[in-house]
Amino acid sequence: MKKHLITILLLAVAMPALADDAKVPAHPYVEIDTTEGIIRLELEGRRAPLTVGNFLKLIDSGYYDGTVFHRVIPGFMIQGGGYTPNLKVKEPDGAIPNESGNGLQNLRGTIAMARLGEPHTANAQFFINVSDNKSLDPKPERWGYTVFGYVIEGMDVVDKIAAMRTGPGGQFSKDVPVIPVVIKKLSRYEFE
């Protein structure tokens, strides 16, 4: 518990400085152009500044272009951003602090960061919730999965991807779309 409190205090001190340096917009808009259609998102730069700043940096570098949604679980979520179409891992170095205590919940239509079992291991992979997944939210005794935005257009595309036939692929024993769902381009856009 003491270690958990120290981590929270360190994050509270570091987050404002990191957010100011990154000059993260309050509500940037991004577009995921996939082989199944377009998904548009509004991000929460004020509630998850480190996560949004990292996500925008990766978008601007072209990192996500050509990656796939590699994990699709109907009634749960679709996950992408870490593998090529032939399921070769593509992960940047480093990790970002967990910002799951920001008041945003893992509800249908939200985007959140995927991570390993340890709380501060997210770096590029993300998922879009296709159901309310409150079990992924933080609890007093554990970290959650950081929500950092919402689908504002294209939830029908998300649902279409979530309904695709899946099976084993690469190092995964299941949940890989049989027909790859490629992120052709992930980019910023101006909301009209």
CA of residue 69 relative to chain centroid, distance: 11
**Alpha-helix runs per DSSP H in 23-114:** 49-61
Q: Which secondary structure element, helix H or strand E, spans residue 189, and what is its range?
A: strand 182-189
pTM summary value: 0.89
Range of lowest pLDDT (8-17, 37-46, 109-118): 8-17
What number does CATH give the domain 2-189?
2.40.100.10
Average pLDDT, the chain: 91
Residue 124's pLDDT is 98
pLDDT digits (tens, 9 = 90+) for 43-72: 999 999 999 999 999 999 999 999 999 999
pLDDT of residue 191: 77
Residues 77-129 have pLDDT tens digits of 999 999 999 999 998 989 999 999 999 999 999 999 999 999 999 999 999 99
Question: Where in the chain are the domains?
Answer: 2-189
φ, ψ dihedrals at 45, nearest 5°: -65, -25
